[in-house]
Amino acid sequence: MNYLIDTVAEVFRYLRQYKSRTFMTMFGIIWGTLTVVLLLAFGVGVQRSMSKNMHGMGEGIAIMWPGQTSIPFEGYNRDRPIRFVESDAELLRHEIPEIVNISPEHHRWGTAVRLNDKVNKPNITGCIPEYGPMRNIWPEPGGRWIDDVDVKDRKRVVFLGNRLRDFLFGDNANAIGQYVYLGDVPFKVVGVLKKKTQNSSYSQRDQDRAFIPVTTFAAIFGHRYLNNIIYKIRDPRQAKYVQQRIYEVLGKRYKFDPKDKETLGIWDTTEMDKFVFYFALGFNIFLGVIGVITLVVGGIGLANIMYVVVQERTREIGIKRAVGAKRTHIMRQFIFESFIIIGISAFIGFLGALGLIRLISMMPIEEYVGYPVLNLNVAIISIAILGIIGFVAGYFPARKAARLDVVECLRF
């Protein structure tokens, strides 16, 4: 223990003795540490932002549209249109147990949604209760989503997107319990969308849409056929199998070849999850390499300084060896000195990076690139890189010091 204390005291004495050199050496490590931590934190922030933006539309869902046949099948000609009805969703739910949620979906454009003299023509969507959780549609406090009673009784209730509400009632006004007109039909507002980030859509952003029960939609607008069906499966790894089963089940009902991929269009959003994962991995590796290169430059500077220190303390090394110090003691001292410099510099660099992360988090950039995130993985990777560079920067000068000839050192 006394040896350790003496070594630390000796190291700090040398650092104080050569303040300018110590500062320049530490600056390279501080800058490298700050760069590594900040870049890796930005990589994590970008990944989270992309995932959040993508999942604004729903997590692990697939949207299916009807198409038309492209090959003849069992006496039927090609180019036959496929049209979905509500019972198709229930058929798929019954036949494919891997599907945990499924909802029919109607769309209508051009119908005016109005309140007094304010008129908008958004996408009016007809759906069932389980559609909301699948699509990450959550109501603001005080409101609710469409429920089973609304569907069963064909109630004239509407759930408004938050921006549509702001247009009709004013910014953040209380619209719950008020009435708006869809065309010439009054609808009671039962809920307003809780604000969310959504950069992906297959029709219109949810913030601008109006949602009503599927049965009410069919009764008022007279639509028999669905625009699409949305579903979610239990295990994303079974996505291809489920798609094949959908072709088989609907192919049997509508008399088309299950191998005819033109009959249905399926957008599986889990493919986007894979893209985000691999993009973020490559992006983080790229940023990490840039940061490591910066840190390596600082490490090279530290190694050069340690070689200079060995030259300056050659006589001291010879005296220590002459009075019985072993080579391992000499090596340990120089490696320990490099680790102290690395440790102090890294600590300052971490504090600087943390301050910058907090400062950047105060800027309105979350919607575009997200906020940098200093998580455990970033800290572990940074510490590992610093440890490796510190050891390498100290090892080779220490080995040179330990191999010096005692007699030659005393003549120096």
Query: pLDDT digits over 190-202, tens only?
Result: 999 998 877 777 8
Range of 339's domain? 2-54+274-411
Spatial contact of 225 and 85, defined as CB atoms under 8 Å apart: yes
Q: What is the pLDDT of residues 364-388, one digit of tens each?
A: 766 666 677 776 676 677 777 777 7
Residues 90 and 34 in one domain: no
What is the predicted pLDDT for the residue at 132? Answer: 92
Q: Across residues 57-84, what is the average pLDDT?
A: 88
Query: Rounded distance, CA 195 to CA 188, Å?
Result: 20
Residues 70 and 163 in one domain: yes
What the block records as the tokens of 315 is 């006589």
Residues 100 and 239 in one domain: yes
What the block records as the tokens of 168 is 């009709």
- Tell me which of 245, 268, 291 is where a domain ends: 268
Q: Across residues 117-139, what is the average pLDDT?
A: 92
pTM of structure: 0.67
- Tell me which of 253, 268, 283 is where a domain ends: 268
What is the predicted pLDDT for the residue at 77? Answer: 86
Q: How confident is the model at residue 189 (pLDDT cuts 50, 70, 90)?
A: very high
Question: Looking at the predicted structure, is the pLDDT value of residue 409 above 70?
Answer: no
Residues 379 and 402 in one domain: yes
Residues 231 and 310 in one domain: no
Spatial contact of 271 and 200, defined as CB atoms under 8 Å apart: no
- Tell me which of 268, 292, 313 is where a domain ends: 268
Output phi, psi for 57, to 5 deg: -85, -20
Query: Rounded distance, CA 25 to CA 230, Å?
Result: 60
Question: Looking at the predicted structure, is the pLDDT value of residue 157 above 70?
Answer: yes
Residues 315 and 283 in one domain: yes
- Tokens 């039909």 -> residue: 185
Residue 23 CB-half CA count within 13 A: 5
Query: Rounded distance, CA 34 to CA 113, Å?
Result: 53
Q: What is the pLDDT of residues 321-340, one digit of tens each?
A: 666 666 677 677 777 777 77
Question: Looking at the predicted structure, is the pLDDT value of residue 354 above 90?
Answer: no
Question: Looking at the predicted structure, is the pLDDT value of residue 276 above 70?
Answer: yes
Query: Rounded distance, CA 149 to CA 411, Å?
Result: 98
Q: Considering only CA atoms, give the Rg of the chain.
A: 33
Question: Looking at the predicted structure, is the pLDDT value of residue 55 above 70?
Answer: no
Query: Rounded distance, CA 201 to CA 61, Å?
Result: 12
Q: What is the pLDDT of residues 100-119, one digit of tens each?
A: 999 999 999 988 999 888 99
Residues 356 and 289 in one domain: yes
Q: In this predicted structure, which of 79-83, 216-220, 337-341, 390-394 has the lowest mean pLDDT? A: 390-394
Q: How confident is the model at residue 285 (pLDDT cuts 50, 70, 90)?
A: confident
Residues 127 and 187 in one domain: yes
Question: Looking at the predicted structure, is the pLDDT value of residue 263 above 60?
Answer: yes
Q: Distance from CA of residue 340 to its chain's centroid?
A: 36
- Tokens 């000195």 -> residue: 337
Helix (H) or strand (E) holding 77, with range, is none
Residues 23 and 104 in one domain: no
Residues 86 and 109 in one domain: yes
Residues 331 and 382 in one domain: yes
- Please tell me the total count of domains within the chain: 2
Question: Looking at the predicted structure, is the pLDDT value of residue 213 above 60?
Answer: yes
Spatial contact of 111 and 122, defined as CB atoms under 8 Å apart: no
Spatial contact of 165 and 176, defined as CB atoms under 8 Å apart: no
Question: Looking at the predicted structure, is the pLDDT value of residue 48 above 80?
Answer: no
Question: Looking at the predicted structure, is the pLDDT value of residue 212 above 90?
Answer: yes
Q: Across residues 272-286, what is the average pLDDT?
A: 77
In terms of pLDDT, which residue wins out, 330 or 98? 98
The 8-class DSSP code of residue 140 comes to P
Question: Looking at the predicted structure, is the pLDDT value of residue 216 above 80?
Answer: yes
Question: Looking at the predicted structure, is the pLDDT value of residue 299 above 90?
Answer: no
Average pLDDT taken over every residue of the chain = 82
Residues 246 and 311 in one domain: no
Torsional sign, CA 12, 14, 15, 17: positive
